[in-house]
Amino acid sequence: MTKPIELRADGPHSAEYTMQVAYVLDDAARVLNHATMPGAGGLDYPGDAYRLLGALYTATERLPQLFAQLTAFLESQRDAGNLADDNGRNATGQVALAAFRLAKAIQAAATLTDELQAAQNAISGLYIREAGVTHEKGTEDGSGDNRGPRG
């Protein structure tokens, strides 16, 4: 098993640490995929899905900054004349292509964030019905448990 890493937004940073964090992001998506499978036990109430959507859109709304910073890094390396391509392609053209694709990724991340927020909003009033308990629209159920988004 690999050694756990500490997530430090303020650094210190290194290329190795950056890749470790990227791999944690990859692993987190895989774990969430398994945890949210029907019957896996990773979600108990609609409020769990509500909070999960909130965490996901918070993450996706941060991706445009990451993609813009990747673009800026590649462009600065290009501008400094530091880049070459193993396949014999024009490095300047490859950076331009990557910048174009990353700009599209920025747009896609913004759309993804909007859709996740809309999905969260759509389920904001959902709860688990209990036998014999009525719940009037617009009122709290008063149970104090974790059934709804405010749980």
Domain ranges of the chain: 14-43, 46-128+145-151
In whole angstroms, give the CA distance from residue 151 to residue 143: 9
Q: What is the pTM of this model?
A: 0.82
As averages over each run of 10 residues, the pLDDT of the chain (151 residues) reads 84 95 96 97 97 98 98 98 96 98 98 98 94 59 49 45
pLDDT for 139:
46
User: How far is the C-alpha of 110 from the C-alpha of 127, rounded, in Å?
Assistant: 29
- Tracing tokens 């813009």 back to the chain, one arrives at 68
Q: Where are the alpha helices (DSSP H) in the chain?
A: 15-35, 46-60, 63-79, 91-122
Confidence (pLDDT) at 69: 98
**The pLDDT of residue 136:** 58
